[in-house]
């Protein structure tokens, strides 16, 4: 099967770029490595997940945006109330550098069908997120594409909400009280409709896998030849995404004619930071031709094989499903029983049954900390999000 073409620009939603996340040891204490790693490596296979610090009350400290004829600008001015709350809650567990680049704003009441347009001004803003009245994430994403070009984001509001909050993550720590983004409330913009996605699970090996954002150097992925492992991994992956309009193929199938994602599953020539790695956290699936890896050449897989080829294959399939979540735009959550878990853990243990039973659900969003202390801000409703961007599967057996 040949490699797919380059991602083209999409007008609505996030354009492509990687987002820092976490990765960890499959059976031991986790570590953050600044990449989109497999959250399947933590709680559920460890004895004691670290309890995250809930920071949702900080939204009450967000300053209100001053709209004038549906347009507003926000600045990089310090937000002392926000910082005071965060420092009081996090104390010595998290270094101030991990939250000083955070800016929050209250946008007021918005109606279903409105679109918030966010235009970055300069190089300060790196990442954009919106939250509704229940603090549920309305994905925004990176302000740059793979080529480093600034993009204007248009984020649709999917339901009436009394309060919408804007979160900006700054790529450059700046407190000059200068405008960093221009906002506009748009009406009459055509909302993106759910779009079918195709993914190829590639077990046949690849000589030089690369990420377009430069996150990894070209890396060789070996093949997995055992039919039981391959078939079980595919079945597990398909079971996770059965409710959605996602076509799942393998490298033994004909190459799709439409853009498609690829997840390479096999032993990596060089060790990855974790058991899986995604090219991007692709908000609203703006880039349908992105790439992820699942590294089958990790010491913990020797333990998985002790439980049989089926369990080994199921574990590979679950990690591939986690990475697919990132390629569709899902972020890490703190719930150890959520497929998108990025929870860190203490101790070690074996609980493959719990790991293999993880599901997509509404869970607290976890934010990475260089000090390993997880903290959460808002929620991610994975089921509602995937239904919105992919749509439901046409029928239960449509993609088998």
Q: pLDDT for 301-334, tens place per residue? A: 767 788 899 999 999 999 999 999 999 999 999 9
- Return the pLDDT at 94: 80
- Return the pLDDT at 150: 93
Q: How confident is the model at residue 46 (pLDDT cuts 50, 70, 90)?
A: low
- Report percent pLDDT > 90 for the chain: 63
DSSP state of 101: T
Q: pLDDT for 188-244, tens place per residue? A: 888 788 999 999 999 999 999 999 888 888 999 999 999 999 999 999 999 999 999
Range of 265-279, 339-353, 373-387 with top mean pLDDT: 373-387
Residue with tokens 């603090």: 135
Question: What is the rounded average pLDDT of the residues 289-304?
Answer: 85
Closest to 28 in 3D by CA, of 304, 347, 352, 343: 347
Biggest CA–CA distance in the chain, Å, is: 65
Question: What is the rounded average pLDDT of the residues 131-143?
Answer: 94
Higher pLDDT, 113 or 204: 204
- Return the pLDDT at 270: 84
Q: How confident is the model at residue 371 (pLDDT cuts 50, 70, 90)?
A: low
Higher pLDDT, 164 or 274: 164
Question: What is the rounded average pLDDT of the residues 95-118?
Answer: 93
366: tokens are 């976890």
Question: What is the rounded average pLDDT of the residues 128-140?
Answer: 95
Question: What is the rounded average pLDDT of the residues 91-104?
Answer: 86
Q: pLDDT for 61-94, tens place per residue? A: 999 999 999 999 999 999 999 999 999 998 877 8
Helix or strand or coil: residue 229? helix
Q: How confident is the model at residue 350 (pLDDT cuts 50, 70, 90)?
A: low
Q: Residues 90, 93, 98, 100: is their CA dihedral positive or negative?
A: positive
Extents of the domains making up the chain: 39-51+193-390, 53-186
Q: Which of 56-60, 117-121, 170-174, 387-391 has the lowest mean pLDDT?
A: 170-174
Q: Residues 327, 332, 333, 338: is their CA dihedral positive or negative?
A: positive
Q: Give CA–CA dist 268/279, Å, rounded.
A: 16
CATH class assigned to 39-51+193-390 = alpha beta
- Considering the segment(s) 53-186 as one domain, its CATH architecture is Sandwich (2.60)
Element containing residue 384 per DSSP (H, E): helix 382-390
- Return the pLDDT at 293: 96
pLDDT at 34 over 80: no
- Residue 263's CB is within 10 A of a number of other CB atoms, namely 26
Question: What is the rounded average pLDDT of the residues 132-145?
Answer: 92
Q: Give CA–CA dist 339/226, Å, rounded.
A: 25
H-assigned helices in 261-371: 299-306, 309-327, 352-356
Distances (CA, A) of 308 to 42, 232, 302, 304, 339: 21, 11, 10, 7, 22
Average of per-residue pLDDT values in the chain: 84
- Report percent pLDDT > 70 for the chain: 82
Question: What is the rounded average pLDDT of the residues 130-158?
Answer: 92
pLDDT at 348 over 50: no
Q: pLDDT for 252-281, tens place per residue? A: 999 999 999 999 999 999 877 778 999 988
Q: Give CA–CA dist 165/184, Å, rounded.
A: 14
């Amino acid at each position: 099967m040949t490699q797919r073409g380059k991602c083209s620009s999409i007008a609505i939603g996030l354009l492509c770029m990687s987002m820092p996340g976490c990765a960890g040891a499959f059976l031991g204490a986790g570590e953050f490595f600044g990449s989109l790693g497999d959250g399947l490596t933590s709680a559920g296979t460890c004895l004691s997940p670290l309890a995250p610090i809930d920071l949702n009350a900080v939204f009450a400290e967000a300053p209100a945006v001053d709209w004038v004829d549906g347009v507003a600008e926000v600045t990089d001015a310090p937000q002392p109330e926000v910082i005071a709350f965060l420092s009081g809650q996090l104390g010595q567990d998290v270094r101030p550098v991990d939250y000083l680049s955070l800016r929050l704003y209250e946008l007021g009441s918005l109606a279903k069908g409105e679109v918030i347009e966010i235009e970055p001004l300069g190089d300060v803003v790196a990442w954009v997120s919106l939250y509704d009245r229940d603090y549920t994430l309305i994905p925004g994403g990176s302000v740059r594409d793979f080529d480093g070009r600034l993009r204007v984001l248009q984020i649709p509001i999917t339901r009436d909400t009394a309060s919408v909050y804007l979160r900006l993550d700054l790529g450059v720590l700046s407190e000059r009280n200068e405008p960093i983004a221009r906002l506009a409330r748009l009406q009459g913009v055509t909302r993106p409709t759910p779009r079918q996605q195709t993914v190829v699970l590639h077990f046949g090996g690849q000589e030089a896998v690369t990420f377009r954002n430069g996150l990894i150097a070209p890396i060789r992925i070996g093949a997995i030849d055992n039919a039981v492992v391959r078939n079980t991994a595919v079945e597990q992956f398909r079971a996770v995404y059965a409710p959605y309009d996602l076509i799942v193929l393998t490298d033994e199938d004909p190459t799709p004619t439409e853009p498609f994602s690829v997840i390479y599953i096999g032993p990596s020539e060089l060790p990855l930071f974790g058991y899986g790695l995604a090219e991007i956290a692709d908000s609203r699936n703006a880039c349908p031709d992105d790439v992820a890896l699942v590294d089958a050449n990790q010491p913990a897989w020797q333990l998985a094989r002790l439980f049989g080829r089926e369990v080994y294959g199921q574990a590979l399939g679950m990690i591939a499903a986690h990475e697919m979540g990132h390629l569709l735009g899902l972020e890490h959550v703190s719930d150890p029983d959520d497929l998108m878990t990025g929870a860190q853990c203490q101790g070690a243990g074996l609980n493959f049954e719990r790991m293999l039973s993880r599901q997509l659900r509404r869970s607290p969003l976890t934010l990475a900390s260089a000090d390993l202390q997880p903290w959460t801000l808002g929620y991610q409703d994975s089921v509602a999000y995937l239904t919105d961007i992919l749509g439901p599967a046409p029928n239960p057996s449509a993609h088998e």
